[in-house]
Amino acid sequence: MAYSVPRKFPTTIVGSYPKMPQALEAIKKRKSGEISEEEFKEIVKPAIREVVEDYLWAGVDIISDGEQAREDMVVYFAERMRGYSIGDWVRVFDNEYFRKPIVIGRVEWISPMTLDHWLYTTSISQDRPVKGILTGPYTMMEWSFDLYYRDRRELIIDLAKVIRREVEELIKAGAQYIQVDEPALSTRPWREDAELLKEALDIIFKGLEAKRIIHICFGRLERIIPYILDYPVDQFDLEMKNSNFRLLPYLKEYGFNKELAFGVVDVHSFQVESIREIEEAIDTVMRADIVNPEKAYVKPDCGLKRLPRDIARAKLKNMVEAARRAREKY
């Protein structure tokens, strides 16, 4: 029997979850060339199972694979499409390094990048829907060095085609929720960039029979809200708790009319929000009079990967209970 997602305030996640030890081990072995991609996919599965067990324990309605295979949201995809070379580690802060992928040729889809783990997660989700989650073309572009196209529009359009191809695989397999993550957009909140992404999203989402979602977080999103509200998506998935619901009046002012998935727990804080505090967060959004409960999804601000596992699951548990109470109230 199909799982029935609540009609009001469904609960979901953005995607990433704390890495299980098995996943960290698998990523290390793959990087050192000890194991093949096929072996890698297999040995990450027990980690995904642990994540799904936490989601089910907490009672989240729409889940993910916890992005256990993804060492980094850009590098993961860059390593699995044509056109990229993975650069050396670049120092970004005192002690933080990250590997910046380099575009050295035309980017092209080779084979499914996320499908296996989506299928595996679906097989153990007890019929709960699993989101297909992909790093968006704008973020792929912004967080890479481009030595080939030397033209942002050409690069983003080709990246969008690669992502579209992956989305088609997921939909063919039965995915009902497709989410594109664009954290880089709010770091460059300019009209020109917002419009460039719209063109790319048209390619990714055109004519799709699935819930189309874009996740954007942090930064100065309010500056570009007028230019993103007509994106070809059904749902905006936004960070809200960390910025104290600052975006709400802007969404109201510009006539927001899509579904809104809003963050009710802060992914940067180790403090577990109480059920009461999360209920108040839901009340704050309802008072803003932007969406009705049928179009309101309750979720954390962003991925949970930086939190310890016990804190991540405790936050989810309280979130689910707060959403259940909101269903009685609204």
How crowded is the C-beta side of 46, counted as CA atoms within 13 Å? Answer: 9
Question: Which region, judged by CB under 5 A, interacts with Zn ion, from 28-36, 87-95, 243-251, 294-302?
Answer: 294-302
61 vs 181 by CB, closer to Zn ion = 181
Residue among 6, 5, 4 at smallest CA distance from 328: 6
Closest CB to Zn ion among residues 67, 116? 67
Q: In this structure, what are the phi and psi dihedrals at residue 103, rounded to the nearest 5 degrees? A: -85, 120
Query: Cβ of residue 112: shortest distance to Zn ion, in angstroms?
Result: 24
For position 247 contacting Zn ion by CB under 5 A, the verdict is no
Angstrom CA distances, 280 to 152, 265, 283, stand at 42, 11, 5
- The string of DSSP codes covering 113-157 is SSHHHHHHHHHTTTT--B-EEEE-HHHHHHTSEESS---HHHHHH
Nearest approach, Cβ of residue 301 and Zn ion (Å): 7
Least CB distance from residue 73 to Zn ion, whole Å?
A: 9
Residue 290 binds Zn ion, judged by CB under 5 A: no
Closer to Zn ion by CB, 30 or 305: give it: 305
**Which range touches Zn ion (CB under 5 A), out of 54-62, 77-85, 141-149, 177-185?**
177-185
Beta strands 145-146; 259-265: pairing state: unpaired
Q: Chain-centre distance of CA 52, in angstroms?
A: 16
Any contact of residue 302 with Zn ion (CB under 5 A)?
yes
The pair of three-digit structure tokens given for residue 94, joined into one six-digit string:
């005192």
Shortest separation between residue 35's beta carbon and Zn ion, angstroms: 30
- Residues 211 to 240: which contact Zn ion by CB under 5 A? 217
According to the binding rule CB under 5 A, does residue 201 interact with Zn ion? no
Q: Which is nearer to Zn ion, 130 or 217 (CB)?
A: 217
Q: Does 261 interact with Zn ion (rule: CB under 5 A)?
A: no
Nearest one of 107, 108, 139, 25 to 71, comparing CA atoms? 25
Buried residues in 125-142 as b, exposed as e (16+ CB within 10 A): beebbbbbbbbbbbbbbb
Q: What is the Cα–Cα distance from 113 to 79, expressed in whole angstroms?
A: 9
Q: Give me the least distance between CB of 199 and Zn ion, in Å please.
A: 22
φ and ψ of 117, to 5 deg: -75, -25
Q: Does 133 bind Zn ion (CB under 5 A)?
A: no
Q: CB under 5 A: which stretch of 210-218, 225-233, 256-264, 275-283 binds Zn ion? A: 210-218
Kindly state the tokens that stand for 118: 């989506």
To the nearest whole angstrom, how small is the minimum distance from the Cβ of residue 302 to Zn ion?
3
In the complex, the smallest distance separating the C-beta of residue 183 from Zn ion, rounded to whole angstroms, is 5
Task: Give, as ranges, the residues between 113 and 132 that touch Zn ion (CB under 5 A).
Answer: none
Q: How many residues belong to the site for Zn ion (CB under 5 A)?
A: 3
Residues that bind Zn ion (CB under 5 A): 183, 217, 302
